[in-house]
Amino acid sequence: AIRMTQSPSSFSASTGDRVTITCRASQGISSYLAWYQQKPGKAPKLLIYAASTLQSGVPSRFSGSGSGTDFTLTISCLQSEDFATYYCQQYYSYLPTFGGGTKVEIK
Amino acid sequence: QVQLVESGGGVVQPGGSLRLSCAASGFTFSSYGMHWVRQAPGKGLEWVAFIRYDGSNKYYADSVKGRFTISRDNSKNTLYLQMNSLRAEDTAVYYCAKDPGYCSSTSCYVSWYFDLWGRGTLVTVSS
């Protein structure tokens, strides 16, 4: 199975900050990568697919980049509603796997 | 309203069985593949199973293969997960999720990511 490693596992940031989360695949996955946001007690929400395509309705402050093994999710100007846990997920193989998650907390 | 609503969770003893349901509304359920994804308490996400739009193909994670069965009833817009021989490590919130894959005039494509999620149902395996 393809292993997905996210870093950092958690960090603190302030409203208005630009934040970047990294996801690394154990083998090349082209651009078959999605990002999700999950708030406590809620279901995950799709933010980005195909590494950089914004899902309909997702604010443009979210962006994704990368291909092959290294990917990033960037939030250009952190808003209060963005404090959550973020997961990457590869779908290069038919057995999709997730990263361990990155929790973004309020500083 | 486009939504997925899971039900059927609860407390079950190790070795027991449970069937989860997921009711879909607001979209053409019979046109899309569907997944189950789970999340153990305080842990990350784990994909569990997938079924094609017409039920013709099914895929499972190794951790549940041979114990869980995914199925669907397109006439009822409902997805199911039959869980047998349950173990403590199966304790999790179980989410159903829609695959955004599409069908052309000649072929159907599975995307293997998840564009719509239900709110989840908690399964607790404990004696």
Please list the pLDDT of chain B residue by residue as tens digits (127 residues). 999 999 999 999 999 999 999 999 999 999 999 999 999 999 999 999 999 999 999 999 999 999 999 999 999 999 999 999 999 999 999 999 999 997 777 888 899 999 999 999 999 999 9
Distance CA A54, CA A70 (A): 18
Give the pLDDT score at A28. Answer: 97
- Which candidate from A42, A46, A97 shows the least CB-CB separation from B115? A46
- Are B51 and B57 spatial neighbours (Cβ–Cβ below 8 Å)? yes
3-state secondary structure A24-66: EECCCCCCCEEEEEECCCCCCEEEEECCCEECCCCCCCEEEEE
Contacts of A98 in chain B (CB under 8 A): 44-47
Give the pLDDT score at B104. Answer: 78
- B38, B43, B45: which to substitute to probe chain A, counting the most A Cβ within 10 Å? B45
| b/e code B73-100 from CB counts within 10 Å (16+ = b) | eeeebbbbbebeebeeebbbbbbbbbbb
Q: Dihedral, CA atoms, A25, A28, A30, A31, nearest 10 degrees?
A: 0
- DSSP-assigned letter for residue B89: G
Cβ pair B47:A98 closer than 8 A: yes
Distance CA B38, CA B40 (A): 7
Give the pLDDT score at A78. Answer: 96
Cβ pair A98:B59 closer than 8 A: no
Contacts of B113 in chain A (CB under 8 A): 34, 46, 49, 89, 91, 96
